[in-house]
């Protein structure tokens, strides 16, 4: 008889005794199970087999219409339906853009630090990645222009630029409106496709999210990637992209979308129902209240427990708190000590393409309730103090 | 106010008065709506939020275990769990293989004729496609060896070979066991990764499907792509891949699967429940009975109504009936006449990489009930007779 090991269902691996703030995962307790149960039942009742067959390549009409209406409220400009494509998550949208909008050897610019798994997706394609430094206000536009000029002198052109302007992963920062405008202008001038990872827009805790770069850029300059992974549930694998009709036409004309009949049609119709029923609004309100409290608890814990010389800026949204340790403390070398003290994180070096700042780390405040985040901060402070 | 055109939900476009046998789509009437309603409710009840968060990169354990057990019955060899990866449909599996297992400029062999949308997916990647002729028994192995030798003389190597050995799209043929063995041997000798599109295995109407090439080839030679699109519902966008542990490790180690937490975890857990409950078996039995009757009705209609000189072989499974018209009749030129008579199909030329046989056409018998298939055959016969 064949051996049957018990195979996992989940990605996360829990380590006993460790508050593991390395996972950028939602707390299972806040995922909208009841809303999904209602929506799946309603969709199969209302649409029957139409919910289960090959869907429109662009994605189902009801979800596209809802996204257009939603972005009219949460962004500075609403897309037309022909600007939108429904995708199987944000990662899949990025993968699809790499496949369909680049040619082998193309230069792709990546702000640094940046979302480390986006870099992994980019590296799975035959692209040359080049880092652009970013600070608390986002990409350094002067350095971007210098870099584009350098590339031009080598007869190269940057084809794409990947960035997370809003509630950045890992730093939590928001690009200033001035930089967004400048970025849009420079990208348009140089024919660089901006890939704007905008998955945290709905998770804004203090003020509405700033206008997306997509909303203020000339048409065709930006492909903005949105997602229901943060605002509803990551296991749904549902996201979307807004660009202009020319780029979305390239995507829906691809072999993958034609052959599959859209990228995730049953789930997309289900999410359209979650949105239409009011459950999306209620879920996002609950998530924002929950994560705001957690962000504040972690920030309070860090203020109380980190030794002098540590610096952090409290983010206005998203999942992540970025911490700078005193110069000379390497977050990678600190990690075993932190784990000994019962806390884990991702060393900041993971998020740099090159020239990492070793005294940085990323804490996710999404997974644990407030009292555990405060305890995690205490343990982190203890570990830093021990090695300092 | 923004205009709100009514956007479609479905891919299919119905044309009044035309029996459109060009769509390789299932009849909505046979899709398992009730089974999916039960399974979604059960999964959200049993797993709660675990059904909605980031899943294991390989896919959820219960579905992988079930696939291993199922293939022990429907194929000549069962995979180990480490041989399997759950994908977001067969098309997505092919796309992923192109991204992760080829380098730009690689030669990819494609049997000809073949599934036209797979060619579109391959062409969205920077690959050089080369056709290998196939007959009613599958790929011509002598010509394959000749071609591989020619490539070697040019200093080239075929990296991948895409084929549909079982219930072929578009021809409905099954590759003989002898050819499967020879294909596996030649591919292993030359280091060619065989991509075996095996999505019709469950839809075998007369006898069990032959052993997959994967099941009889040396480990690492074949990536077999399976799907729930034909056996359950295409809108689920769920498939799987069986290969060896080395290749699946490359896939689950990709940025896309790591970032997303598997490719379609909520749907995959739901389908695992459909399978465990017995609903999968019941659905496949119902589908086979339904499609067998339709295949026979269409074959009977063609026998009765096609003029002399037309040839066809009744397929043992799948969705498609391939028809050869008398030499000199171009199926593309015939199509407007056929549509005038109220029937449509895909001209066979669509399925050739080059040197198409213009006197061929593909009829899908999946979408219409028997009496309409007979009527479609009558209309087709009328149109052929009119132009002959």
pLDDT digits (tens, 9 = 90+) for B48-74: 999 999 999 999 999 999 999 999 999
Provide the token pair at A239: 């996201």
Do A12 and B255 make contact, defined as CB atoms within 8 angstroms?
no
Q: Which segments of chain A belong to CATH 3.40.640.10? A: 35-277
pLDDT at residue B315, as a whole number: 98
Q: Which segments of chain B belong to CATH 3.90.1150.10? A: 19-30+281-387
CA nearest to A364, candidates A172, A211, A223, A183 = A172
Which residues of chain A have a CB within 8 Å of the CB of B58?
A: 7
pLDDT at residue A181, as a whole number: 98
Dist CA B290 CA A44 (whole Å): 22
- Mean pLDDT of the region B184-204: 98
> Which helix (DSSP H) or strand (DSSP E) does residue B133 occupy?
strand B128-135
Dist CA A182 CA A185 (whole Å): 5
Do A235 and B48 make contact, defined as CB atoms within 8 angstroms?
no
State residue B303 phi and psi, 5-degree precision.
-60, -40
**Can you give the C-alpha Rg of chain A in angstroms?**
21
- Mean pLDDT of the region B31-59: 98
Q: Is residue A361 within 8 Å of A348, Cβ to Cβ?
A: yes
The yes-or-no verdict on residue B125 having pLDDT over 50 is yes
The yes-or-no verdict on residue B196 having pLDDT over 60 is yes
Do B121 and A236 make contact, defined as CB atoms within 8 angstroms?
no
In order, the DSSP letters of B4-68 are -----SBS----TT-EETT-----GGGS-HHHHHHHHHHHHHHHGGGGTSPBPTT--HHHHHHHH
Dist CA A386 CA A188 (whole Å): 50
Q: Is residue A171 within 8 Å of A322, Cβ to Cβ?
A: yes
b/e string for A169-181 if b means 16 or more Cβ within 10 A?
bbbbbbbeeebbe
pLDDT at residue A5, as a whole number: 58
Q: How far is A162 from chain B (nearest CA, A)?
A: 15
Strand pairing report for A84-87 and B360-364: unpaired
State residue A174 phi and psi, 5-degree precision.
-115, 130
* B368, HSE (Cβ side, Cα atoms, 13 Å): 25
Q: How far is A135 from chain B (nearest CA, A)?
A: 24
Q: Which residue of B has its CA nearest to A251?
A: B124
Angle at which helices B245-252 and B90-101 cross, to 10°: 90
Residue A354 makes CB contacts below 8 A (sequence gap 6+) with A112, A131
Q: Is residue B59 within 8 Å of B263, Cβ to Cβ?
A: yes
Do B31 and A12 make contact, defined as CB atoms within 8 angstroms?
no
> Which helix (DSSP H) or strand (DSSP E) does residue A232 occupy?
none
Q: How far is A260 from chain B (nearest CA, A)?
A: 6
The yes-or-no verdict on residue B307 having pLDDT over 60 is yes
Which residues of chain A have a CB within 8 Å of the CB of B245?
A: none
The yes-or-no verdict on residue B30 having pLDDT over 70 is yes
pLDDT at residue B5, as a whole number: 58
- Mean pLDDT of the region B78-98: 98
- The DSSP call for residue A347 is E
Dist CA B109 CA B132 (whole Å): 7
Q: Is residue B65 within 8 Å of B275, Cβ to Cβ?
A: no
CA nearest to B93, candidates A137, A149, A256 = A256
CATH number given to A19-30+281-387: 3.90.1150.10
The dihedral region occupied by A134, where left means phi > 0, alpha psi between -120 and 50, and beta the remainder, is: beta
Coarse DSSP helix, strand, coil percentages of chain B, rounded to the nearest 5 percent: 45, 15, 40
Distances (CA, A) of A330 to A212, A358, A388, B201: 34, 5, 10, 55
- The DSSP call for residue A55 is B
Which residues of chain B have a CB within 8 Å of the CB of A47?
A: 9
Q: What percent of chain B is modeled with pLDDT above 70?
A: 99
Length reported for chain A: 388
Q: What's the count of helices (H) and strands (E) in chain A, helices before strands?
A: 13, 14
pTM: 0.97
- Mean pLDDT of the region B220-234: 98
Q: Which residue of B has its CA nearest to A264?
A: B237
pLDDT at residue A264, as a whole number: 96
Q: Where would I find the H helices in chain A?
A: 33-47, 61-74, 90-101, 116-123, 141-153, 177-190, 213-216, 245-252, 255-260, 265-276, 279-305, 331-341, 370-387
Q: Which residue of B has its CA nearest to A42?
A: B37
Per-block average pLDDT, block size 10, for chain A (388 residues)? 70 96 96 98 97 97 98 97 98 98 97 96 98 94 96 93 98 97 97 98 97 97 98 98 98 96 97 98 98 98 98 98 97 98 98 96 98 98 95
Which residues of chain B have a CB within 8 Å of the CB of A228?
A: none
The yes-or-no verdict on residue B9 having pLDDT over 60 is yes
Q: Is residue A88 within 8 Å of A238, Cβ to Cβ?
A: yes
**Can you give the C-alpha Rg of chain B in angstroms?**
21
Give the sign of the dihedral formed by CA B184, CA B188, CA B189, CA B190: positive
Dist CA A200 CA B21 (whole Å): 45
Dist CA B32 CA B279 (whole Å): 8
- Candidate from A41, A261, A264 with C-beta closest to B41: A41
Partnered with residue B225 across adjacent β-strands are B197, B241
Torsion of CA B361, B365, B367, B371, to 10 degrees: 120
Partnered with residue A130 across adjacent β-strands are A109
Q: What percent of chain B is modeled with pLDDT above 90?
A: 98
Max CA separation in chain B (angstroms): 66
Partnered with residue A111 across adjacent β-strands are A132
Q: Which residue of A has its CA nearest to B127?
A: A104
CATH number given to B35-277: 3.40.640.10
Distances (CA, A) of B274 to A43, B43, B157, B318: 18, 10, 43, 22
In order, the DSSP letters of A39-52 are HHHHHHHHHGGGGT
Provide the token pair at A85: 């494509």
- Mean pLDDT of the region B167-172: 97
Residue B155 makes CB contacts below 8 A (sequence gap 6+) with none
Q: Is residue A307 within 8 Å of A384, Cβ to Cβ?
A: yes
The yes-or-no verdict on residue B289 having pLDDT over 90 is yes
- Mean pLDDT of the region B118-136: 96
pLDDT at residue B6, as a whole number: 80
The yes-or-no verdict on residue B2 having pLDDT over 80 is no
Give all strands of the β-sheet with B107-112 in edge-to-edge order: B84-87, B239-242, B222-227, B193-197, B158-163, B107-112, B128-135, B138-139
| CA of residue A254 relative to chain centroid, distance | 24
CA nearest to B283, candidates B36, B69, B72, B45 = B36
């Amino acid at each position: 008889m064949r051996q049957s090991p018990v195979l996992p269902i989940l990605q996360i691996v829990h380590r006993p005794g460790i508050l593991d703030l390395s996972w950028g995962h939602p707390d299972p307790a806040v995922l909208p199970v009841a809303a999904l149960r209602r929506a799946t039942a309603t969709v199969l009742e209302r649409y029957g087999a139409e919910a289960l067959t090959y869907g429109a390549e662009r994605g189902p009409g009801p979800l596209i219409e809802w996204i257009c209406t939603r972005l009219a409220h949460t962004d500075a400009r609403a897309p037309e339906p022909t600007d939108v494509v429904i995708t199987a998550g944000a990662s899949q949208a990025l993968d699809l853009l790499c496949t369909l909008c680049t040619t082998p050897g193309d230069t792709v610019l990546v702000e640094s630090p940046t979302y480390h798994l986006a870099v992994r997706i980019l590296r799975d394609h035959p692209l040359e990645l080049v880092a652009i430094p970013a600070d608390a206000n986002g990409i350094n536009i002067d350095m971007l222009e210098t870099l584009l000029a350098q590339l031009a002198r080598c007869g190269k052109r940057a084809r794409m630029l990947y960035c997370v302007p809003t509630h950045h992963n890992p730093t939590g920062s928001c690009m200033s409106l001035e930089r967004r405008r400048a970025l849009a202008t420079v990208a348009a001038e140089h024919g660089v496709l901006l890939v704007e990872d905008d998955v945290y827009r709905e998770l804004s805790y203090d003020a509405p999210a700033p206008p997306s770069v997509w909303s203020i850029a000339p048409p065709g300059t930006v492909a903005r990637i949105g997602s229901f992974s943060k605002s509803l549930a990551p296991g749904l694998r549902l996201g979307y992209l807004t660009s202009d009709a020319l780029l979305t036409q390239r995507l829906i004309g691809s072999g993958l979308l034609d052959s599959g009949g859209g990228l995730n049609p049953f789930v997309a119709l289900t999410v359209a129902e979650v949105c239409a029923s009011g459950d999306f609004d209620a879920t996002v309100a609950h998530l924002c209240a929950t994560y705001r409290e957690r962000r504040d608890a972690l920030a309070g814990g860090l203020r109380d427990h980190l030794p002098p010389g540590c610096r952090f800026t409290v983010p206005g949204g998203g999942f992540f708190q970025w911490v700078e340790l005193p110069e000379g403390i390497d977050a990678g070398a600190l990690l075993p000590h932190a784990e000994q003290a019962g806390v884990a994180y991702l060393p900041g070096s993971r998020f740099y393409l090159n020239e990492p700042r070793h005294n940085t780390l990323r804490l996710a405040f999404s997974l644990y309730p407030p009292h555990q985040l405060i305890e995690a901060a205490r343990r982190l402070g203890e570990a830093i103090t021990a090695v300092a």
